[in-house]
Amino acid sequence: MSQCQSVRTSMGMTALDGLVMGTRPGSVDIGIALHAITALGMDADALPHALYDRSGLLGLSGIS
């Protein structure tokens, strides 16, 4: 495959989009992030940690 050639994947701009993974949620409605900030008091530093490291199958099951 040559450089500068598009490749179709299940991910978007970041690893947060696409399918649910071990610790990442897959496709997320932006309303979840807004709810975490406003209703749960989560700050901008905690939100990426929650989305990249504490979500996905781990968040659904409580075990990895």
User: Which one has a higher pLDDT value, 7 or 55?
Assistant: 55
Instruction: Tell me the DSSP string of 12-35.
Output: -SSTTSSS--SS--SS--HHHHHH
> Is the separation of the CB atoms in 64 and 23 below 8 Å?
yes
The pLDDT > 70 percentage for the chain reads: 89
Burial (CB < 10 A; 0-12, 13-18, 19+), residue 33, is middle
Give the tens place of pLDDT for each residue, 17-36: 888 889 988 888 889 889 99
pLDDT value, residue 64: 67
Task: Give just the sign of the alpha carbon dihedral 55, 60, 63, 64.
Answer: negative
Whether pTM exceeds 0.75: no
What is the C-alpha separation between 16 and 41, in angstroms, rounded?
Answer: 21
